[in-house]
Amino acid sequence: MTTKFLLEESRMPRHWYNIVADLPVPPAPPLHPATKQPVAPADLEPLFTRSLIEQEMATEREIEIPEPIREVFRLWRPAPLIRARRLEQALQTPAKIFFKYEGVSPAGSHKPNSAVPQAWYNAQAGIRKLSTETGAGQWGSSLAFAGALFGLEVKVFQVRVSYDQKPYRRALMETYGATCIPSPSPETAAGRAALAERPDHPGSLGLAISEAVEVAATNDDTKYALGSVLNHVLLHQTIIGQEAMLQMEMADADPDVVIACTGGGSNFAGLAFPYVGQTLRGGRRRRIVAVEPAACPSLTRGKFAYDFGDTAHLTPLTKMHTLGSTFTPPGFHAGGLRYHGMAPLVSHLKELGLIEAQAHTQNDCFAAAVLFARCEGIVPAPEASHAIQGAVAEALRCKAEGKAETILFGLSGHGHFDMAAYTNYLGGKLVDASYDEAELAMALSGLPSIPA
Ligand SMILES: Cc1ncc(COP(=O)(O)O)c(C=O)c1O
């Protein structure tokens, strides 16, 4: 009875998969914040290097993964696919549960899958410094690691609540040689404005993005790197789903349901898009489920509209599910899921009816995470616990309906730096703080108006 399905390094995918090539309707273009016209590649050049802009706008189905990037990936990829038999037994479900485990990377999550290519392309273009934001600390650690490999200086704005909750994430970033600053910070105009309004501001991903973008836009030697949301980041993550497909074949199984958590949408897209693409090219239709936090429910409660990706309105406008760029979610523990928007491509798929979305509370997710840890040994990242909760709910549905379906979920990272959150949960101290309805209404009423 095989438990871990391991691919040979030689079978690691050689291309990223671009779902844009297979979509029945193209996604709405990003707009310039001043002119409200579609952005041209040159508009993005202050922030991103040319090869990444080309990937952002690419329409071809496959984009080759350069060999120096594959060489770094071989440090931990291919990542394992694991059959969660003990979890199946604990739930007494007839369903088969598989998970694709991304926590084996040096930073402990899927984030290096994009950090390594982003750092490499910037280094190739002669860039010496990168600025970025981090919510959970996972992306900041990943870019810090990638920067160390290719000799780039990395400056990370870490959302204040996460900076306070996870001092060891900061230590990890500094170990890799990066600088880590709590956001909002006095270093940028966006940070100073937020602090003036609220000196104890908990920060948000939208605000940290503003700070990092401002640093890149105002320094010629610095480019910006984003850990999710954008097309090229989602593209880089498709190595996950392509590997999973080969591994599910090794397991002689095919998923009926594919589940992943969604913050900005990158690990979800990484696992799910290769499966959605197969369906779009005439293959079997599966259920594809995005799981988000009930306290920051962009896909299930947000509006599908053009909005800014950041709080200070420095980024292009993208059409996405959004809670409004000024929305500050409550300070719950899955810091990587505290984002007001959702990747435009994930949002587009939701609008086309190709994917479903669910929202779960953090206490339910931690309960699922603790059950999972006690069965399978891995302590999941709080973000990833949302995918586990989604999988547990499906497995219990299969039990109630007497169906032996196959469930595949993405375990996007481990939670070894999140033990304070577990201590809170185990001590009964976690509250399911809801967002403020009035604040949501206000944030949504402030959405930019776009001429038809
Ligand atoms: C472990 C983990 N999973 C998921 C996420 C959510 O991001 P995304 O939706 O881009 O995968 C994060 C973000 O920081 C994360 O650290």
Over range 273-286, report the average pLDDT.
98
Atom of ligand 1 nearest to the CA of 139: 14
> 51 burial class (0-12, 13-18, 19+ CB within 10 angstroms)?
middle
Give the single-character DSSP code of 11.
Answer: G
**CA-nearest residue, atom 5 of ligand 1:** 336
Written as one letter, the residue type at 341 is G
- CA dist 264 and 415 (Å) reads 19
**CA-nearest residue, atom 16 of ligand 1:** 138
Gap from CA of 162 to ligand 1 centroid (Å): 13
Gap from CA of 145 to ligand 1 centroid (Å): 17
Q: Give the pLDDT score at 380.
A: 98
Q: Give the pLDDT score at 63.
A: 98
Architecture of the domain delimited by 66-108+232-445? 3-Layer(aba) Sandwich (3.40)
Atom of ligand 1 nearest to the CA of 233: 10
Gap from CA of 263 to ligand 1 centroid (Å): 6
* Average pLDDT value over all residues in the chain: 96
Q: Which helix (H) or strand (E) holds 130?
A: strand 129-134
The 10s digit of each residue's pLDDT in 372-415 is: 999 999 999 999 999 999 999 999 999 999 999 999 999 999 99
Written as one letter, the residue type at 15 is H
Over range 196-205, report the average pLDDT.
93
Residue 191 confidence (pLDDT) above 90: yes
CB 208 within 8 A of CB 135: yes
Residue 332 confidence (pLDDT) above 90: no
- CA dist 431 and 433 (Å) reads 5
CB 111 within 8 A of CB 41: no
CB 123 within 8 A of CB 152: yes
Residue 11 confidence (pLDDT) above 90: yes
User: Residue 322's pLDDT band (boundaries 50, 70, 90)?
Assistant: very high
Gap from CA of 213 to ligand 1 centroid (Å): 20
The 10s digit of each residue's pLDDT in 116-151 is: 999 999 999 999 999 999 988 999 999 999 999 999
- CA dist 204 and 325 (Å) reads 10
Atom of ligand 1 nearest to the CA of 263: 9
Percent of the chain topping pLDDT 90: 90
- CA dist 89 and 85 (Å) reads 6
The 10s digit of each residue's pLDDT in 358-374 is: 999 999 999 999 999 99
Q: Give the pLDDT score at 85.
A: 98
**CA-nearest residue, atom 1 of ligand 1:** 413
Atom of ligand 1 nearest to the CA of 227: 10
Count of C-beta atoms within a 10 Å radius of residue 41: 12
Residue to mutate, 111, 162, 268, 360, ligand 1, most ligand atoms under 8 Å from C-beta: 111
The secondary structure of 277-329 as a DSSP string is HHHHTT----EEEEEEETTS-HHHHSEEEEEESSSSS-SPEEEEEES-TT---
Residue 45 confidence (pLDDT) above 80: yes
Reduced to 3 states (helix: H, G, I; strand: E, B; else coil), residue 192 is helix
Gap from CA of 225 to ligand 1 centroid (Å): 15
pTM of this prediction exceeds 0.75: yes
**CA-nearest residue, atom 7 of ligand 1:** 263
User: Residue 436's pLDDT band (boundaries 50, 70, 90)?
Assistant: confident
Residues framing ligand 1 (Cβ under 6 A): 109, 135-136, 138-139, 228, 261-268, 336-337, 381, 383-384, 412-413
Written as one letter, the residue type at 276 is V
Gap from CA of 376 to ligand 1 centroid (Å): 21
Residue 331 confidence (pLDDT) above 80: no
Six token digits for residue 97: 């549960």
Atom of ligand 1 nearest to the CA of 413: 1
Over range 262-277, report the average pLDDT.
98
Atom of ligand 1 nearest to the CA of 135: 14
Q: Give the pLDDT score at 278.
A: 98
Residue to mutate, 141, 235, 346, 383, ligand 1, most ligand atoms under 8 Å from C-beta: 383
Q: Give the pLDDT score at 15.
A: 98
**In the chain, domain spans:** 66-108+232-445
- CA dist 338 and 334 (Å) reads 7
Residue 333 confidence (pLDDT) above 90: no
**Residues 6+ away with beta carbon under 8 Å from 404:** 94, 95, 96, 398
Q: Give the pLDDT score at 451.
A: 75
Residue to mutate, 132, 166, 259, 267, ligand 1, most ligand atoms under 8 Å from C-beta: 267
Gap from CA of 116 to ligand 1 centroid (Å): 16
Gap from CA of 183 to ligand 1 centroid (Å): 18
**CA-nearest residue, atom 4 of ligand 1:** 383
Gap from CA of 113 to ligand 1 centroid (Å): 12
> 40 burial class (0-12, 13-18, 19+ CB within 10 angstroms)?
exposed
